Amino acid sequence: MHKEYLTVSNIVGPLIIVEKIEDVKYGELVEIEDAGGHLRRGEVLDVSTERAVVQVFEGTTGLDVDESKVRFLGRSQKLRVSDEIVGRVFDGSGYPKDGGPEIIAKHTRDINGIPINPQARDYPSEFIQTGISSIDGMNPLVRGQKLPIFSGSGLPHSRIAAQIARQAKVLGKKEKFAVVFGGMGITFEEANFFIEDFRDTGALERSVVFLNLANEPPIERIATPRLALTCAEYLAFDLDMHVLVILVDYTFYAEALREISAARKEIPGRRGYPGYLYTDLATMYERAGRIKGKAGSITYIPILTMPEDDKTHPIADLTGYITEGQIMLSREIHRKGIYPPVDVLPSLSRLKDKGIGKGKTREDHADVLNQLFACYARGKDARELALILGEAALSDMDKIYLDFADRYEDEFVRQGESEARTIEQTLELGWKLLRMVPSAELKRISPEYLERYYSEDQ
Amino acid sequence: MKKGTIIRTAGPLVVASDCLGAKMYDMVRVGDIGLIGEIIELREDKAFIQVYEDTTGIGPGEPVLLTGEPLSVELGPGLIQSVFDGIQRPLDVIRAKEGDFVTRGIEVPHLNRTKKWDFKPLVRKGQSVEEGDFLGEVEETPLIKHKVMVPPGIKGKVTQIKKGKMTVQQEAAVIQDQEAEHKIRLFQVWSIRQNRKVKKRIMPENPLVTGQRVLDTLFPLAKGGTACVPGPFGSGKTVVQHQLAKWSDAQIIVFVACGERGNEVADLLLSFPELKDPSTGRPLMERTVIIANTSNMPVAAREASIYTGMTIAEYFRDMGYSVALMADSSSRWAEALREISGRMEEMPGEEGYPAYLASRLAEFYERAGKVKCLGSEDREGALSVIGAVSPPGGDLSDPVVQSTLKVVKVFWALDDKLANERHFPAINWQNSYSLYVDNIKDNWQEEVAEDFTEIRQEAMKLLEEESELLEIARLVGVESLSDTERLVLESAKSIREDFLHQNAFHPQDTYTSLRKQYLMLRIIIHFHNLGLNALEEGVPFNDIFQLEVRERISKMKFISEKEQEEEDSVHDVFIEVDRSFKELIKNKG
């Protein structure tokens, strides 16, 4: 039996302070019983000989100082896992939300995880075909990569994420595949969209969902992504599955972290976010990857909405420093009615070089990718110039590029929500656009491929 | 051993009482499971300890073991080709012992205790030696002769010297001085926070050739110099650091992956054994030490990792080697400092960083330099340091960038805009600078070419003129520029695209020798000068613009070093430029 303390002295925001404690450990899981007998959970954030600071996941509303009972459980927060976890929906603390039974644990895993030994990592190099040209063609995703979507409020990042979850596959392989979805502070409608979408396409059977909705306790959000990743690690490295983890929305996560930090009166870093935000995010993002000798993998797509579409905002900025690139969405392209509104130029996939080319996608992929980047960039410059000087002032070549940029957005970037293009189709589309430009201008493509593909069906 | 008692745990910070007698920066073992920590502040009998492993499950009442020793590294054969964590625990040994994840409280020896090295003595019995003298050597890898030196502070007569196979722990020599006998093993132990002694510092005067055109030609770093590479995410900091680790002509590379991505370390580990050192043809791993404390590994060990790397680098410098240390990224180190400082409730300076940030950074970079090493023979070693900085939002007013710029002599500014245009390396030629040009000018003239500095100067001038002209062109259109001005634009573009732009992933383009860099740039400048001349002769601008030789200029970068060496192919382009212009002038009108 655990000792019960009635010594709560302060309640500050999401934190409670428990006095006169004995034998309490840092990071320990805590159970708090309020006056009405309801249980809440928390975690020890700071412990000294006299007192412990505890963050309460379900929030402190309704707690009082004299009647709340606190029990320290002597262990950190764990997730119970077994192969029956697939196909289930849980809340943000890991309890079943779909009316099903509790998971009978084969193992219990610490939700904070432990770092993968860098020496044990296998370099991600298998191309994942998402069926979306602006990703496959321009910023290819590989297995074991962490590639976030940088979005803004009102942009269709959920639809894109769902489309990736539906269509993603590795070419020429049939393997065990699972999706782990975590929602942090998202609305009921958004969560429902995902679940319905997964259900309609049959993806729910191979998914695990963890949901903390906008009206649920913000502090619970600290645990939600960790639960999802712990589950993913189990599926990937114990059950040899290829796991795609999608977590929305990290902005709400970071805000919850800031709330705790403020309640602890910590010295804030940029924009009030705690100085350890980078480390905190990294301990989650870095759980993606591959391990030598293991069949499974974790590919990770965190989604965040940049406040005011500002990518220098600490959440986006620190994420960009940890993840292996980013898919950036653009409000401007969205306004033109183009789906998916991927802003190709500032998007980046750092691991693409080892994932594309002969034997993986196609020999000319890297060259086509670079050339499309260059032509589109030039086209956008021309567009800007045309705005200032008028289209008439453009040189003939600039006019070609201007035209190129328009068609690129309209034909290459734009596609249907259920349209899954193969990588060949994507590359062919790329060539079709490149043929608008005289071959002498295509300096980034080696002569060999130019000869083979440029004039193909003209 | 003395013991204290934990009275508080808050993340990586642990406070213990009953610690009288403990010294600053002593190493301690924390809690029942014995996590490694270091004392960073003492208040009366209370010690503030930063713990290098995750402290979950550690609480008040648990013991703290005071070792009385500073946090140290072991310096001896077995360093090269190793991958260590931030406090020099070999990650492969940890993996063999604990599996694919790094668990806590692991105790493993830093250097391999069982491997036998073939020790060749370099002194005779009875010989007098002083600190820093070579006692013998072992071949650590085919590239590196590891010298076993007399540890600092010891001077006397060699009374015993061994020969043959031995482990690092075995006695290799005995030195007798007035008071005592010193038994010398193959390795020494050295505190990571303590600079290793040198005879004196000297000025750097040789370039560190990196094979990267924009760096070597425009903003060169000297052997023994310091450089910083700041830039926003996605601008290619890590690629630049990797390129330097791969191609720079230092003899030893120490790469500190400090709070960065695990997959990047995996990339290094997989590619380095395959890549060949351009000057020796041996695998690059045979000259490399990697310190990997990735971003999800404990934050305090991240703080220690750059000192661990630096101490190892200094040790090889003491042997007379030219060593280069890359730290990627110093911002993560500074953040670790900030996190610990915040937990200690210190008064913050700018952006929450502690007030001592600048002095810590300065101390770190000052450990670089070209030196006369300890020892009776006259030996020079150099330690170059290249630090990446990751300022928030790429904002160069960030305190870490600003404090770094105060101490380093070379500034390679990475630029978001260039990166978006996929111009790599995205080093902005207008903001970047190198203060070593004057130091290494003479070396260039002797080793590369008499007129290298002039050619370089001319290229810089063209780039400068370009930015002014582009400004005008943006306002009034390119058509309003004179032909001469348009030629300047074209030539500057050629410098940018055919010279500065370099593809790290292309087998030939990834490395360019200094000689070839010179030849390439000379051709572009030569073309420009002949072009000016042709315009004066009345040749229409478009004829120059459409010369076929321009195509060959743009392909120069793909000529392999081997082909260049054997057939001097780049020079053919030079001749072709001459010929093209002669023809042009002959045929005008």
- What's the angle, vertex CA B253, arms to CA B360 and CA B323, rounded to 5? 70
Q: Note the pLDDT of residue A458.
A: 45
Residue B530 one-letter amino acid: L
CB contact under 8 A, A324 and B261: yes
Tokens for A23, please give them: 């034998």
Q: Please list the alpha-helical segments (H only) found in B59-119.
A: 91-98
pLDDT tens per residue across span B175-185: 998 888 999 99
Region class of B30: left (phi > 0), else alpha (psi between -120 and 50), else beta: beta
Distance CA(A402)–CA(A399), nearest Å, equals 5
pLDDT tens per residue across span B312-336: 999 999 999 999 999 988 999 998 8
Distance CA(A69)–CA(B286), nearest Å, equals 61
Identify whether the C-beta of residue A83 lies closer than 8 Å to the C-beta of residue A235.
no
CB contact under 8 A, A279 and B295: yes
Size of interface A-B (CB pairs under 8 A): 199
The structural domains of chain A, with segments of one domain joined by +, span 4-72, 78-354, 365-454
Closest CA to B462 of B400, B408, B525, B522: B525
Identify whether the C-beta of residue B458 lies closer than 8 Å to the C-beta of residue B466.
no
Residues of A in contact with B83 (CB under 8 A): 118-119
Closest CA to B291 of B332, B320, B232, B237: B332
Region class of A403: left (phi > 0), else alpha (psi between -120 and 50), else beta: alpha
Cα–Cα distances (Å) from B394 to A329, A345, A388, B401, in that order, read 20, 17, 28, 10
Residues of B in contact with A27 (CB under 8 A): 55-57
- Residue B112's beta-bridge partner residues? none
- Residue B439's beta-bridge partner residues? none
To the nearest 10°, report the CA torsion of A440, A444, A449, A454. -40
Identify whether the C-beta of residue B451 lies closer than 8 Å to the C-beta of residue B214.
no
Read off the pTM.
0.92
CB contact under 8 A, B505 and A395: no
pLDDT tens per residue across span B140-196: 999 999 999 999 999 999 999 999 999 999 999 999 988 889 999 999 999 999 999
CB contact under 8 A, B60 and A314: no
Q: Note the pLDDT of residue A297.
A: 94
Residue of B nearest to A285 (CA): B296
Q: Note the pLDDT of residue B193.
A: 92
Does any CB of chain A come closer than 8 Å to the CB of residue B288?
no
Out of 2.40.10.170, 3.40.50.80, 3.30.470.10, 3.30.70.20, which CATH number does the structure's domain A4-72 have? 2.40.10.170
| Residue A270 confidence class, pLDDT cut points 50, 70, 90 | confident
What DSSP string describes A79-145?
EEE-GGGTT-EEETTS-B-SS-PPPPPSEEEETT--PBPGGGEE----EEE-S-HHHHTTS-EETT-
Judged by CB atoms within 8 Å, which residues 196-235 of B form the interface with A? 232-234
Residue A424 one-letter amino acid: E
CB contact under 8 A, B261 and A395: no
| Residue A456 confidence class, pLDDT cut points 50, 70, 90 | low
Burial of A458 (0-12, 13-18, 19+ CB in 10 A): exposed
pLDDT tens per residue across span A68-95: 999 999 888 899 999 999 999 999 888 9
Closest CA to A297 of A225, A337, A238: A238
Residue of A nearest to B548 (CA): A440
Q: Of A53-62, A253-262, B468-477, which gets the smallest average pLDDT?
A: B468-477
- What's the angle, vertex CA A348, arms to CA A344 and CA A352, rounded to 5? 120
Identify whether the C-beta of residue B366 lies closer than 8 Å to the C-beta of residue B220.
no
Phi, psi (5° rounding) for residue B263? Answer: -65, -30
CB contact under 8 A, B420 and A117: no
Would you mind telling me the total number of residues written for chain A in this entry? 458
Mean pLDDT (chain B, rounded): 92
Q: Note the pLDDT of residue A453.
A: 92
What number is the ipTM of this complex? 0.87
What DSSP string describes A300-326?
EEEEEEPGGG-TTSHHHHHHHHHSSEE
Identify whether the C-beta of residue B222 lies closer than 8 Å to the C-beta of residue B383.
no
Asked whether the predicted pLDDT for residue A169 surpasses 50, the reply is yes
Q: Please list the alpha-helical segments (H only) found in B450-482.
A: 452-476
Q: Note the pLDDT of residue B267.
A: 87
Asked whether the predicted pLDDT for residue A457 surpasses 70, the reply is no
To the nearest 10°, report the CA torsion of B399, B405, B411, B413. 20
Asked whether the predicted pLDDT for residue A166 surpasses 50, the reply is yes
Asked whether the predicted pLDDT for residue A58 surpasses 90, the reply is no
CB contact under 8 A, A76 and B56: yes
Please name the residues in contact with B90: beta carbons below 8 A apart, sequence gap of 6 or more: B82, B83, B84, B108, B110, B112
Distance CA(A281)–CA(A299), nearest Å, equals 16
Distance CA(B304)–CA(A96), nearest Å, equals 43
- The CATH code that applies to domain A78-354 is 3.40.50.12240
Distance CA(A402)–CA(A408), nearest Å, equals 10
Number of DSSP helices (H) and strands (E) in chain A, helices first: 13, 22
Q: How is residue A340 annotated by DSSP?
A: S
Please name the residues in contact with B120: beta carbons below 8 A apart, sequence gap of 6 or more: B136, B137, B138, B163
Does any CB of chain A come closer than 8 Å to the CB of residue B24?
no
3-state secondary structure of B507: coil
Tokens for A432, please give them: 């079709």
Tokens for B334, please give them: 């500074």
CB contact under 8 A, A117 and B267: no
CB contact under 8 A, A267 and B393: no
Residues of A in contact with B342 (CB under 8 A): 266-267, 274-276
Q: How is residue A219 annotated by DSSP?
A: G
Mean pLDDT (chain A, rounded): 91
Residue of B nearest to A382 (CA): B474
**A262-270 long-range contacts, Cβ below 8 Å, gap at least 24?**
A262/A13, A263/A12, A263/A13, A263/A14, A263/A15, A264/A15, A264/A45, A264/A46, A264/A53, A266/B342, A267/B342, A267/B345, A267/B348, A267/B352, A268/B352, A269/A314, A269/B338, A269/B351, A269/B352, A270/A314, A270/B351, A270/B392
| Residue A2 confidence class, pLDDT cut points 50, 70, 90 | confident
Closest CA to B418 of B212, B235, B242: B235
Judged by CB atoms within 8 Å, which residues 377-406 of B form the interface with A? 390, 392-395
Q: Which of B57, B91, B269 sits opposite A27 (nearest CB)?
A: B57
Distance CA(A89)–CA(B9), nearest Å, equals 35
Q: Where are the beta strands (DSSP E) in B11-57?
A: 13-17, 26-30, 35-43, 46-51
Within this chain, domains A4-72 and A78-354 share the same CATH topology: no
Averaged pLDDT for residues B37-60 = 92
Residue of B nearest to A286 (CA): B296
Q: Which of B56, B91, B395 sits opposite A27 (nearest CB)?
A: B56
Identify whether the C-beta of residue A3 lies closer than 8 Å to the C-beta of residue A71.
yes
Burial of A22 (0-12, 13-18, 19+ CB in 10 A): exposed
Which residue in the block uniquely carries the two structure tokens 């690129």? A408
B100 to chain A, closest Cα gap in Å: 5
Q: Note the pLDDT of residue B589.
A: 58
Mutate to test the interface with B, among A43, A145, A270, A321 (most CBs of B within 10 A): A321
Q: Of A367-371, A387-391, B30-34, B523-527, which gets the smallest average pLDDT?
A: A387-391
To the nearest 10°, report the CA torsion of B95, B98, B99, B104. -90
Averaged pLDDT for residues A301-312 = 92
CB contact under 8 A, A46 and B59: no
Q: Note the pLDDT of residue B533.
A: 94
Burial B406-423 (b: 16+ CB within 10 A, else e): ebbbbbbbbbbebbbbbb
Please name the residues in contact with B362: beta carbons below 8 A apart, sequence gap of 6 or more: B403, B406, B407
pLDDT tens per residue across span B92-151: 999 999 999 998 888 899 999 999 999 999 999 999 999 999 999 999 999 999 999 999
Residues of A in contact with B295 (CB under 8 A): 278-279, 282-283, 285-286, 322
